[in-house]
């Protein structure tokens, strides 16, 4: 099964110059825990999570109304491509301890794939559940 068959293609992203407050409002409005950070040409430059906002901005005493996303986003993120096999992506998520990956084509964002997307696929439900358990237990230890 290919990533393009299970990914979410209606993706909301944020620019690196946008404020953290703007990113947080987008997350709340769309019930998301993470946003890919893309430059003007649609290339993924990082990802910002609700946890990043709390631990890297709010707890650090920065003002979310003026601090740009680029100052707290995670860089050097792993992405996958439309034609990647879903089982390879599952292993990548597990190895990198992440719950979601941007999907790119020609270097530009075209979607997101999450452990939830994999779990909803009958073929991967047990493997996705195991990966989620491993990722969650490692996150809780941090």
Q: What is the pLDDT of residue 38?
A: 97
Closest CA to 10 of 28, 39, 32: 32
| 135 phi/psi in degrees, rounded to 5 | -65, -45
Q: Is a pLDDT exceeding 70 seen at residue 136?
A: no
For the segment 63-104, what is each residue's pLDDT rounded down to a tens digit? 999 999 999 999 988 999 999 998 889 889 888 888 899 999
pTM, full prediction: 0.83
9 burial (CB, 10 Å; 0-12 / 13-18 / 19+) is: exposed
For the segment 101-133, what is each residue's pLDDT rounded down to a tens digit? 999 999 899 999 988 888 777 666 566 566 656
The Cα–Cα gap between 32 and 3 comes to 20
131 neighbors 65 (Cβ within 8 angstroms): no
Q: With bands split at pLDDT 50, 70 and 90, how would you rate the model's confidence at 138?
A: low
3 neighbors 80 (Cβ within 8 angstroms): yes
């Amino acid at each position: 099964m290919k990533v393009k068959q299970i990914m979410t293609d209606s993706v909301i992203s944020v620019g690196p110059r946008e404020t953290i407050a703007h990113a947080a409002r987008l997350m709340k409005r769309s019930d998301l825990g993470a946003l890919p950070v893309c430059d003007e040409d649609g290339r993924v430059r990082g990802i910002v999570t609700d946890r990043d906002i709390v631990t890297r901005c709010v707890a650090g005493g920065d003002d979310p109304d003026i601090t740009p996303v680029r100052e707290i986003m995670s860089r050097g993120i792993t992405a996958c491509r439309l034609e990647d096999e879903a089982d390879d992506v599952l292993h990548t998520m597990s190895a990198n301890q992440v719950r979601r990956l941007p999907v790119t084509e020609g270097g530009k964002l075209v979607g997101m794939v999450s452990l939830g997307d994999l779990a909803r696929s009958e073929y991967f439900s047990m493997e996705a559940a195991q990966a989620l358990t491993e990722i969650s237990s490692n996150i809780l230890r941090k």
